[in-house]
Chains A and B, each alone.
Chain A
């Protein structure tokens, strides 16, 4: 029987090769998309799964009006542990990697991922030790542990216990070598302990990531409440007393901090703070967008399968009639047709595996990963999903087919069922809807990205190279020297520096008061020439100037937002501001207001900001992280190698020279959205292609069934134009209905998407006009082409025979 089935299937397929081609290609693309997204999702989800305490370790983050900070103070952990018996222990660690040169027997080795932590690091991230133990590591503050790769890099062996290395002025003894896990929150080259000079005693000093280890199945809501209460008691209350305010007034004025806990097992994808570990955060939104799109792709392909099978049913009606007559049960018939769809799905899966294997390198580049197709569980999931989908969508046409009445079909009395046509139209409408959704999506995303790329950021980033200062010592001196030497090169226009570098988000903030009004401001420190260098506009007052001695002592610039928040926008000059930075922060004098600059990209709000000269306070000079160099567009590679040579000889010996162009660095703030745009563009192309192929095949089939009608109409004198309109009108009506339904749906989703951006376009109207027009034109072209061919039929053939 299976042989007969296969024979019939094979011969039918040969006759209807276009249908099979469309079914299989649609499924292949749909399954490929799903497979890739699941591989990606699985990869992101596998982060921290190796950690035996993944469900007990939580990161503490702090939420206030300004957003969510991933950092904590050094004081909270001990209090939380004392207050909550469910908190077994806590650990403080710097949330980003340091880079530095380690020296062993005077040979420098550059280390990229230095983790600075307290001694409990390995209790929370228990990497397996190849040699040594976590216990010996924790016994002395000058003990360190290194990864196997680092051990091999420096010593050429892992047998290194007791060896001594120099790092950042410390003399460290290697007490352990650990094996890294591939998917971890931290993947350090080396773990060192907080040096004694690092203070951990201030409530205002949010420097560390704080991890708490709970007992099994902790009550997180109650833990957060305990934390909030403790925070109020230890931080807010003394601060309120100090200012002579009641606690209530204090909260009204300065806001209330809300402590939240993020579980390690899911922190990669689900985190309130923007940052999620030095290994980066998963792009959950992109993942969900991709997953939804791949599901839409599968729906489109499924619609094609259902539509083409029911539409071509009349061709197979006779087969059903004959089979029923010779005693096939309905069950068997349904089984047979379902099997045909499943068979096509299985072929598609094979193609999908091949396609994904071919596409993965590009996809990996796109998402910055190295996924492999050999992920058994994901493959299995896709196969099972494919089987379920094909079973489900196979049943619909199978029931439709098997319901033909044997006698009527054999007598040739087969007419198109109204229900079948209605369902097919609904499906086709759904396809138009999805295609239209993709089109609108592409257009709206395009409009927003275009807006971001052309919008005035408030600064110029062209031809500016940002070179990183890695070595800790004498950073500012090195900068000042470079500022003198480098511009002697004919292709170097200027050198400047700024604590905040566009594209790198906010790095430092402090409270500032004007009279009774206090708000947090981003405290930026720059060189005198920075405003001109970056072409930031001064809209009121004047720029800071070296000529005035006061500009190195008390003068500051503020941005528009700060001026507005302090209510001094109309008359800001010479207003006296208090920066909450001890005595030296008192009575700062505003000399100018600069136009807002978009430091962190367009999905980040512009905070109040002040700019002061580097030298105004002692501390900021140590924070300088990079040097900005403006170069001429000619001979860039020659200029860069000149800078590199200078750097390696005079600035940082033994350190790798790392730099980035500012415009490229800034582009990263909207890279995520550009990726979504690219993804939308590719997918909409595929989706529309599949939908059009389906439409073409469906038009072919329905028109084929109407050829007799065409012949009759033609005989009665219908012109080619009249016949084409007659054949196309139904499809056009459908696309108009779909367009009308499409508008609110697309509007809702795109409005949501635009809400990601603090600085965004108003929803453009034109995509909603142009998309239905494009749909109509596409439908008219595809169906019209088939319809026009239909007007050329041989009349006599269709009038004679049915």
Chain B
């Protein structure tokens, strides 16, 4: 699904140039659950942003479903993004002024889904993440775990082929964190490709493969044998 080759991303300010990604190559197959780990500043968030088409590389190749997207412009990226990729952020990034229902509905509106279908899909996804009873609440009225579940629902409502999660448990306690990880694992088992950036090796164990970055290149790559099977548990 994703094939990245020799990707280079350099951030330059007036005084210094920082190489965030240094000719990095990576392949993710459809249906995989990949964790990206590494110390702060190793380039993991940059990599996720580029994969999520929020940012563009300076050089290298990025094939998304066989299509070269590395040099897509803003508009092309937006089109690809809204129908293919869902995002889950560490700080949830819900809109405070909109209710749970409205937050989840938003990507469907931008995808021009008709009203009736929107209603069905939002209600279905809210039930699936077990937050339907809070549909009319506003984000600030929910706990962190609940907010993240809403964010997950919003990421999934468009049935994206790829979900990108940037430290999804970073702002949550362990119980709520576990819940979110279980939700992601369940999604993955149903076929959604997931790429997750995390600091937590515990969380990483939920995924099928862990990649460790350092200074913009891949240091190590390992398959997770001790996969926690939430369905069995």
Interface residues of A (CB under 8 A from B): 415, 708-709, 711-719, 722, 795-796, 799-800, 802
Beta-carbon nearest neighbor of B151 in chain A: A712
Determine the distance from Cα of A169 to Cα of B138 in the docked complex, in whole angstroms. Answer: 98
B82, B83, B91, B95: the one contacting A802 at CB < 8 Å is: B91
Q: Which residues of the partner chain B approach A795 to less than 8 Å between Cβ atoms?
A: 54-55
**What 9 new A-B contacts, CB under 8 Å, besides A796-B54, A799-B89?**
A713-B106, A715-B54, A716-B82, A716-B154, A717-B79, A717-B81, A718-B110, A796-B45, A796-B49
Our pick among A709, A711, A717, A799 for the contact of B110 (Cβ within 8 Å) is: A717
Contact partners of A718 in chain B: CB under 8 A: 110
Chain B residues with CB under 8 A of A713: 95, 106, 110
List chain B positions with a Cβ less than 8 A from chain A. Answer: 45, 49, 54-55, 75, 78-79, 81-83, 87, 89, 91, 93-97, 106-107, 110-111, 140, 154
Residues of B within 8 A of A711 (CB): 93
B82: chain A residues at CB < 8 Å are 716-717
Query: Which A residue sits closest to B48, measured CB to CB?
Result: A796
B49 / chain A contacts, CB cutoff of 8 Å: 796
Measured between C-beta atoms, what is the minimum distance from A723 to chain B in Å? 10
Query: A179–B225 Cα gap in the complex (Å)?
Result: 114
Q: How far is the CA of A716 from the CA of B93 in the complex (A)?
A: 11
A716 engages B107 (CB within 8 Å): yes
B97 touches A709 (CB 8 A): yes
Query: Across the interface, which residues of A come within 8 angstroms of B55, CB to CB?
Result: 795-796
Complex Cα distance, B97 from A290, in Å, reads 44
**Interchain CB contact under 8 A, B110 and A415:** no
> Could you tell me the dominant secondary structure of chain B's interface residues?
helix
Residue in A415, A712, A719 with the greatest tally of chain B CB atoms within 10 Å: A712
A712–B93 contact, CB under 8 A?
A: yes
Contact between B111 and A708, CB atoms less than 8 A apart: no
Q: Across the interface, which residues of B come within 8 angstroms of A717, CB to CB?
A: 78-79, 81-83, 107, 110-111
Residues of A within 8 A of B79 (CB): 717
How far does the alpha carbon of A719 sit from the alpha carbon of B77 in the complex, in Å? Answer: 11
Residues of A within 8 A of B75 (CB): 719
A144 to B82, CA, bound (A): 99
Alpha-carbon gap, A713 to B106, bound state (A): 8
What is the bound-complex CA distance between A76 and B87, given in angstroms?
Answer: 97
Q: Which 10 A-B pairs have the closest CB atoms?
A: A717-B82, A717-B110, A716-B107, A795-B54, A712-B93, A718-B110, A709-B95, A716-B106, A796-B49, A799-B93
A717 to B86, CA, bound (A): 10
Least distance between A765 CB and chain B CB atoms (Å): 39
In angstroms, Cα B79 to Cα A719, docked, is 9
Q: In angstroms, how far is the closest chain B Cβ from the Cβ of A64?
A: 68
A722 to B106, CA, bound (A): 12
Alpha-carbon gap, A758 to B89, bound state (A): 72
> A714-B78, A715-B54, A716-B110 are known contacts. Are A415 and B93 too (CB-CB below 8 A)?
no
Contacts of A716 in B (CB 8 A): 82, 106-107, 110, 154
A-B contacts, 30 of them at CB < 8 A, read A415-B96, A415-B140, A709-B95, A709-B97, A711-B93, A712-B93, A712-B94, A712-B95, A715-B54, A715-B87, A716-B106, A716-B107, A716-B110, A716-B154, A717-B78, A717-B79, A717-B82, A717-B83, A717-B107, A717-B111, A718-B110, A719-B75, A719-B78, A795-B54, A795-B55, A796-B45, A796-B49, A796-B55, A799-B93, A800-B45
CA distance A799 to B89 in the complex (A): 8
Q: Are A715's CB and B110's CB within 8 A?
A: no
Most chain B CB neighbours (cut-off 10 Å) among A708, A714, A715, A716:
A716
* Residues of chain A contacted by B106 (CB below 8 angstroms): 713, 716
What residues of chain B lie closer than 8 Å to A708, measured between beta carbons? 93
Chain A residues near B89: list those with CB within 8 A.
799
CB neighbours (8 Å) of B95 from chain A are 709, 712-713
Query: Which residue of A has the minimal Cβ distance to B90?
Result: A800
When chains A and B are docked, how far (Å) is the Cα of A711 from the Cα of B81?
Answer: 14
Minimum C-beta distance from A266 to chain B (A): 58
In the complex, which residues of chain A have a beta carbon less than 8 angstroms from the beta carbon of B107?
716-717
* Minimum CB–CB distance for B11 against chain A, Å: 11
Residues of A within 8 Å of B78, CB to CB, are 714, 717, 719
Min CB distance A703 to B, Å, is: 14
State in angstroms the CA–CA spacing of A30 and B93 once bound together. 44
Q: Determine how close the nearest CB of chain B comes to the CB of A506; give it in whole angstroms.
A: 68
Complex CA–CA separation, A722 to B107 (angstroms): 12
| Cβ contacts under 8 Å, A722 to chain B | 110
- CA of A649 to CA of B87 in the docked complex: distance in angstroms? 100
Q: In the complex, what's the smallest C-beta–C-beta distance from B76 to chain A, in angstroms?
A: 12
A415–B54 Cα distance when bound, in Å, is 27
What distance in Å separates the Cβ of A50 from its nearest Cβ neighbour in chain B? 66
Kindly state the separation between the CA atoms of A415 and B93 in the bound complex, as whole angstroms. Answer: 15
Q: Residue on B with the closest CB to A713?
A: B106
**In the bound complex, what is the Cα–Cα distance between A799 and B154 (angstroms)?**
15
Q: Which residue of B lies closest to A798 (CB)?
A: B93
The distance from the CB of B179 to the nearest CB of chain A, in whole angstroms, is 22
- The reply to whether B81 and A715 form a contact with Cβ atoms under 8 Å apart is yes
Chain B minimum-CB-distance residue to A712:
B93
| B111: A residues at CB distance < 8 A | 717
What's the nearest-Cβ distance from chain A to residue B104, in Å?
A: 10
Shortest distance from the beta carbon of B55 to any chain A beta carbon, whole Å: 6
